[in-house]
Structure 1
Amino acid sequence: MPLINVIPGEKIPVAPMNLRLPVWRVPGWLLPLWWLARGLVRLTILAVRYWWLTGPAVAALWVYARYGRLILAGVVLAVTVACVAWWRWHPASWLRFGWYPVVARWRRLWVYRRRWPSIMATCGLATAFAGDRYVPHLVKVRCDRYVDEVTVRMLPGQLPDDWARAAQRLAYAFRLRDGQARTTDRPDRVVLRFLRRDPLAATVAPLPVPDVPDFTALVLGVREDGAPYRLRLTGSHVLVAGATNSGKGSVLWSLIAALAGGVRSGLVELWVFDPKGGMELAAGLPLFARFAYDDPESMAGVLEEAVKRMRLRAARLRGVARQHTPTPDDPLIVVVVDELASLTAYISDRKVKERIKDALSLLLSQGRAVGVRVIAALQDPRKDVLPFRDLFPTRIGLRLTEPEQCDLVLGDGARDRGATCDQIPESAAGVGYVALDGVREPVRVRFSYLTDDHIRDLGRTYRRLCATDQEPQEETA
């Protein structure tokens, strides 16, 4: 066969296509048999797939045909009484193994399966190739009191980020409140979390204060699935960002309350900075080892003292231990700063501002291993206001004013993954999203709210043991 020289840019010559299709002549009397066989196969597949409907129906028909309607009514009554007794005896297991699986199967059939192809197409998640339509496969649905978890097998070429960007549209398409996409252990699957009821709609009451705080799991509020939210303070600094009246005080006081037992026993020292004249945090004065307010120069001096304590501790632990373990003689130092921008951006004295920035940078970069934690709150998350934002492994975004601020606080792409801080209503103070380094999806949380009476009672009950003889040092103008 001679070689064909192809000039770049020209069309490659091909042989003419054979458009004649093979013709199979089938007798007319075989068509009804073929249709009947195909229908029986489909009915069998449906019966096996929806066994939770067909099984009870077949059993009920068999009992009715064999024993009559009275026996069938007795069986139904006995099953109903058993379910009610199970629910009354152990509600948690009844909901987990009895009720929610039935709800999940029903919602899969009636809510999701019925409209799945059309919604996938309108949300841009289905595709067509060579005349065939391809739709992502709905694998399973799990339900609990608040959330539907829909597991989906993605089409080739799709990423979890594609589903994260479409999660809100999917939620509205299924007539649900909110949607979020999360990755799984399998790279071809994604889990869609749809919120049916919001457990964070109501204010969270003050939580019990543990006598010995667990620094790996401090309970500060409630997650969007109704479970307690636990903050890991071990080896982590925390940044809290939110607009005015977004609930930054709820986060700070929830954290202080969770550490109050350690303050009383001496395991924790709270070094608190309130640049707004002490109005926000002064109610907890008996809990604080150091309390600085009003004067930037004095606050810079206290921060430099914390740096000195950190360096002395590092020299003592060098070659002895890689991580600090809090004890009453060597406590965990927690530096709490309200309105951090007042210290890093809004001070006119450049020398004082540089002293504060240098001290904070050292505490953030070197303090984790030696038992120094920084908890900072601010309203303006811009880079020029907080140049060392990336040194906070744990970041909490409350209500923000602009969509771009969500990514500034929680990391690039956080808003596409469901952290819509700019859509939190003003009435939901204390609601926010928590992002951790190394964890892809942010978690929606509502922090507990402590009134002034609760805070004063907290100070009286859990005041430092040495506070009976000596009040905390206050740094004033």
Structure 2
Amino acid sequence: MPLINVIPGDKIPTAPMNVRVPVWRVPGWLLVLWWTLRGAFRATVLAVRFWWLTGPAALVAWIWADFGWQTLLVVLATLAAAGIAWWRWHRASWWRFVWWPLLGRWRRLFVYRRGWAPAMATCGLATTFGGDKYVPQLVKVRATAVGDELTVRMLPGQHPDDWGKAAPRLAYTFRVRDGRARTHRRPDRIVLVFLRRDPLATTIAPLPVPTSLDLERLPLGVQENGDPYALRLAGSHVLVGGATNAGKGSVIWALIAALAGGIQQRLVELWVFDPKGGMELAGGLPLFTRFVYDTAETMAGALEDAVVRMRARANRLRGVTRQHTPTPGDSLIVIVIDELAALTSYISDRKVRDRIRESLSLLLSQGRAVGVHVIAALQDPRKEVLPFRDLFPTRIALRLTEAEQVDLILGDGARNRGALADEIPETSPGVAYVALDGVREPVRVRFAYHSDSDIQDLCRRYGYAQVVEGEIVEGER
């Protein structure tokens, strides 16, 4: 019985409402033609997208059909022999151009693509709008020796920080060791880095000393993707933060070793400050131009001498050049401070402490262009301990005791972007996260470890000849 609309307060019924949906009659042959064309289009798209599977399959079918299985067997045997010879005689290019590309496509198809949509939904990276579901698109998977790099097209409204927070959960979802997000050169994409194994699990042996001084790339260790890590010291100061036994000595000695060639060529002067009484760095005395370790008064005077050298050089270079170039008569000055907090906060004499703070502020703010660089290590990164933390463009966070300390050293939001320095195990000294000025994501590295014998060999090969081995002196030599 049709529904009757009744106007309130009136007894007269209105016309019945028509609720029937119009029906369009389509011929069966047209539906079959549409389904055939759509299926052919999808099959073509899949064949082109997965050419690395469909191409060889089509080639095998063609050889078998036209030449027989014997010819196919000969072709496959020839290709196998060529592949084995390639792998045997030039293994690096074989891994790069054959194995890793094939492995990346295989893992994209059978590891990530199968559970991609559920993973995006459970991690809060998929969304629904207007009744339709939207999932970020997996663009490419690049396999390496240590992990996978997934290029993803983000949805509108998403930010790289959203992926940085979700990366550890995605790593557990896809059953890999660790995961973090990295920005892409295109603003609408993000790169997820998943590690299948950790190349930083073992100690890094001392790296070869560069024969020439290159301040743009000082080799100090290994990155988590297995590539060498090189520090850019030109135009920069370096802050190293870490708890006790976190490996601050590894960073300092790796840097000294990278500068050893320049020290031998009289292109670099090391001014070393060891407030711990000289116990940590005295082994490298033949490499140092100045080594100060006993009193705060002596350290304040040495820093004031560095300020005098800096100002004299600035007056000489003003109007000539904007960047100092090291020469044997006008060398680079690298100031190494093992425990910065001992100079800026733990000195009881207020006047001496103020002198040190004033000198450090001047060196950090004016020294880079004239070839005076500060390398400082500390354990306590609080603001009152290090008031001029922002003057260090390059920052290194070793193992820390609290999560809040990560942002104090590397900058606000660094931990949310993957710098989990508070989760570095005590069994991995020398592992750190490095934040570079202008680079959004911290880089996880492990610095090379130098034993006492390695340090002695370094001093014997690159130290000053006029210094008696083992002698400890203060002041300028």
* TM-score of the two chains, using structure 1 as the length reference: 0.92
Query: Within 2, Cα distance between the matches of 1:30 and 1:252?
Result: 76
Is it true that 1:142 corresponds to 2:153 in the alignment?
no
In the TM superposition, residue 259 of structure 1 has moved relative to its aligned partner by 0.8
Q: Deviations over 1:62-117 (max 9, x none)?
A: 22233333222222111111111111222222111111111111011011111110
Take 2:452 and 2:168, find their aligned partners in 1: how far apart are those partners? 38
Q: Distance in 2 between matches of 1:28 and 1:211?
A: 79
Q: What corresponds to 1:383 in structure 2? A: 383
Q: Is the 8 A contact 2:283 2:470 kept in 1?
A: no
- 1:155 matched to 2:155: yes
Alignment of 1:19-418 (within 5 A): 21-26=21-26, 35-418=35-418
Measure, in 1, the Cα distance between the counterparts of 2:315 and 2:27.
Answer: 94
CA distance in 2, matches of 1:133, 1:374: 53
Counterpart-to-counterpart distance in 2, 1:471 and 1:332 = 24
Structure 1 residues 373-382 or 301-310, which shifts more?
301-310
How many angstroms apart in 1 are the aligned matches of 2:467 and 2:21? Answer: 95
Distance 2:80 2:463 in 1: 55
Q: Does the 8 Å contact 2:241/2:377 carry over to 1?
A: yes
SS, match of residue 474 in structure 1:
coil
AA aligned opposite 1:407: D
Comparing 464-473 and 268-277, the one that deviates more: 464-473
Against the structure 1 CA distance between its residues 83 and 400, is the aligned structure 2 distance closer, same or farther, given a 3 Å change threshold? same
Scaled by the length of structure 2, the TM-score of the pair is 0.92
Q: CA offset at residue 343 of structure 1?
A: 0.9
Does the C-alpha gap of structure 1 residues 465 and 110 become closer, same or farther in structure 2, counting only changes over 3 Å?
same
How many angstroms does 1:265 deviate by?
1.7
Q: Are 1:433 and 2:433 an aligned pair?
A: yes
Quick one: which amino acid aligns to residue 323 of structure 1?
A: Q
Give, as a single letter, the amino acid of the residue that structure 1 aligns with 2:282.
A
1-structure distance, mates of 2:470, 2:241: 34
Aligned with 2:87: secondary structure? helix
CA distance in 1, matches of 2:33, 2:261: 78
Give structure 1 stretches of 5+ with no counterpart.
1-16
Contact 1:299 1:475 in 2 (8 A): no
Tell me if the contact between 2:242 and 2:379 (Cα under 8 Å) persists in the aligned partners: yes
Q: Which residue of 1 aligns with 2:13?
A: none
Change (3 A) 1:209 1:29: closer
* 2:113 match: secondary structure: helix
Are the counterparts in 2 of residues 289 and 473 from structure 1 also a CA contact under 8 Å? no
The alignment partner of 2:42 has SS state of: helix
Cα deviation code 1:390-448 (max 9, x no counterpart):
00010011111111111111111111111111111111111111111111111111110
Matched to 1:430, the amino acid is: G
Instruction: Specify the SS of the correspondent of 2:66.
Output: helix
Q: In structure 2, what is the Cα distance between the partners aligned to 1:18 and 1:56?
A: 60
> Which residue identity does 1:114 align to in structure 2?
R
Kept after mapping to 2: 8 A contact 1:242/1:400: yes
Of 460-469 and 243-252, more deviation after overlay is shown by 460-469
Q: Distance in 1 between matches of 2:57 and 2:318?
A: 72
Distance 2:260 2:430 in 1: 20
Bigger mean CA offset, 69-78 vs 169-178: 69-78
- Partners of 2:320 and 2:475 lie apart in 1 by 34
